[in-house]
């Protein structure tokens, strides 16, 4: 008579079943087979139909068209581009334009968003109402509506270049866009730039050293005078030695338009204004929610330790609020980048407009072009979400420690 416990049944079969079919077991495996068959059938239909349709339209599939000449002009390019360049170059030009409008938009959206959030949190009744009205109005109107409003109503109502609005005689606003002085590099430019970079690097090093001294030895080092000297004094001194780093070419009114200076096209202005004000409304709500999420006791604890209000905010409230703010804020930055594709409605030459718009209608390579365009946005958003998950992991780790 054995009293030994029975051995548990072999786990391998169960584990395999779990991996292959999930909790549903062999039923799950069957479901997967059916699902794969349906997917395969749909995929087969799509491929065969696409092949037949392309043959009918005499379009050669593949990315060979990227080496062909584009043959159309783009009215804002960051890199040199002419009509005789290839479609690949058009792709890069469009991508750069998208990135430029996104970065500028993100900068202004963040600035406006934080200001509006501070307004809404202000104890001043009138100011918080003004912030609330701004958020409600902007959030409840479609973005495309706002872009078209700025472009078709506001900017179109500006005077023509001959009656343009002058800002101190150096910048001019008209319905052809904003004309600003253009910096032209002189002989002193390179040393100037080198000194500027050096100043920034050394200042960062100083700050790092000062913080270490503070945290390890409790020694307070005042670094701002030397940082000021490094950031402004050093380049200024180079300027005295090597001469001016650059001069400005002022725009001049010649005939019906401006000559000289750099022109910011009205499409860019309309798109930036609409994108940044629209996203700012959402950012304001995020920031407000983040700051409200920090418990009131934190502020009180800070002042009971004898910290000033500014120091409490800077050292206690904001770092905790940032943890709540950063993930949705990144999401808004991503939204802004994706929304910049609405440029196609007003003809700003972004990726969608020049590549998925003009190039598509010229070549008819719908599948390749739309796949490339979608791929770019998908890549941007996947990279951002990967970075965000690393951030979330670090935050949760630092909280756990």
Least Å distance, CB 304 to other proteins, is: 23
Contact range with other proteins by CB under 8 A, out of 65-73, 146-154, 163-171, 292-300:
146-154
Q: How far is CA 149 from CA 63, 105, 339, in A?
A: 38, 17, 16
Site string for other proteins, 2-21 (x = CB under 8 A): -----------------xxx
Name the token pair of 259: 């000559």
Measured distance CA(134)–CA(36) in Å, rounded = 50
By beta-carbon proximity to other proteins, the closer residue of 142 and 319 is 142
Residue carrying the six token digits 């499409």:
267
Residue linked to tokens 């609409």: 274
Give DSSP secondary structure letters for 253-277: EETTEEESSEEE-HHHHHHHHHHHH
Map the footprint of other proteins across residues 344-363, applying CB under 8 A: 344-345, 352, 356, 360
Query: Environment class of residue 252 by beta-carbon count within 10 Å: exposed (0-12), middle (13-18) or buried (19+)?
Result: exposed
Structure-token match 């022109």, residue found: 263
The residue (of 41 and 393) whose beta carbon lies closer to other proteins is: 41
Indicate the residue among 104 and 127 with the shorter CB distance to other proteins.
127
| DSSP type of residue 314 | I
Site string for other proteins, 369-398 (x = CB under 8 A): -x--xx--xx--xx----------------
What is the rounded distance in angstroms from the CA atom of residue 230 to the CA atom of residue 240?
A: 15
- Least CB distance to other proteins at residue 175 (A): 12
Residue 88 Cβ vs other proteins, minimum distance, rounded to whole Å: 19
> Using the rule CB under 8 A, is 49 a contact of other proteins?
yes
Tell me how far apart the alpha carbons of residues 285 and 109 are, in angstroms, rounded to a whole number: 12
Residues that bind other proteins (CB under 8 A): 19-24, 28, 31-32, 35-36, 39, 41, 44-46, 48-50, 52-54, 56, 122-127, 129-130, 136-137, 139-145, 148-149, 152-153, 156-157, 338-339, 341-342, 344-345, 352, 356, 360, 366-367, 370, 373-374, 377-378, 381-382
């Amino acid at each position: 008579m054995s009293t030994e416990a029975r051995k548990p049944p072999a786990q391998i079969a169960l584990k395999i079943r779990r991996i292959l079919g999930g909790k549903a077991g062999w039923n799950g495996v069957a479901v997967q087979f059916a699902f794969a068959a349906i997917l395969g059938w749909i995929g087969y239909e799509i491929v065969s139909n696409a092949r037949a349709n392309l043959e009918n339209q005499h379009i050669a599939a593949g990315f060979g068209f990227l080496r062909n000449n584009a043959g159309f002009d783009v009215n804002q390019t960051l890199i040199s581009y002419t009509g005789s360049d290839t479609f690949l170059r058009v792709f890069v030009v469009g991508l750069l334009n998208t990135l430029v409008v996104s970065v500028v938009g993100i900068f202004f959206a963040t600035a406006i968003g934080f200001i509006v959030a501070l307004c809404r949190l202000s104890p001043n009744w009138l100011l918080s109402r003004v912030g609330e009205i701004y958020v409600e109005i902007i959030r409840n109107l479609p973005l495309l509506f706002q872009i078209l409003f700025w472009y078709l109503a506001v900017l179109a109502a500006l005077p023509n270049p001959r009656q343009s609005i002058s800002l101190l005689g150096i910048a001019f606003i008209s319905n052809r866009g904003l004309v600003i002085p253009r910096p032209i590099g002189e002989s002193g430019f390179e040393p100037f730039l080198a000194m500027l970079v050096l100043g920034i690097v050394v200042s960062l090093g100083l700050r790092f050293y000062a913080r270490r001294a503070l945290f390890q030895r409790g020694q307070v080092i005042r670094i701002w005078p030397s940082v000021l000297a490094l950031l402004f004094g050093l380049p200024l001194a180079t300027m005295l030695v090597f001469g001016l780093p650059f001069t400005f070419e002022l725009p001049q009114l010649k005939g019906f338009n401006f000559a000289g200076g750099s022109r910011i096209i009205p499409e860019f202005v309309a798109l930036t204004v609409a994108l940044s004000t629209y996203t700012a409304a959402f950012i304001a709500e995020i920031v407000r929610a983040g700051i409200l999420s920090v418990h009131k006791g934190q502020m009180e604890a800070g002042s009971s330790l004898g910290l000033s209000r500014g120091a409490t905010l800077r050292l206690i409230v904001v770092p905790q609020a940032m943890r709540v703010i950063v993930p949705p804020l990144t999401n808004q930055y991503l939204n802004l980048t994706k929304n910049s594709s609405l440029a196609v409605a007003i003809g700003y030459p972004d990726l969608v407009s020049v590549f998925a718009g003009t190039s598509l209608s010229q070549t008819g390579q719908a599948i390749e072009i739309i796949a490339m365009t979608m791929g770019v946005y998908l890549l941007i958003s996947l990279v951002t979400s990967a970075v965000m998950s690393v951030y979330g992991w670090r935050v949760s780790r630092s909280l756990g420690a």
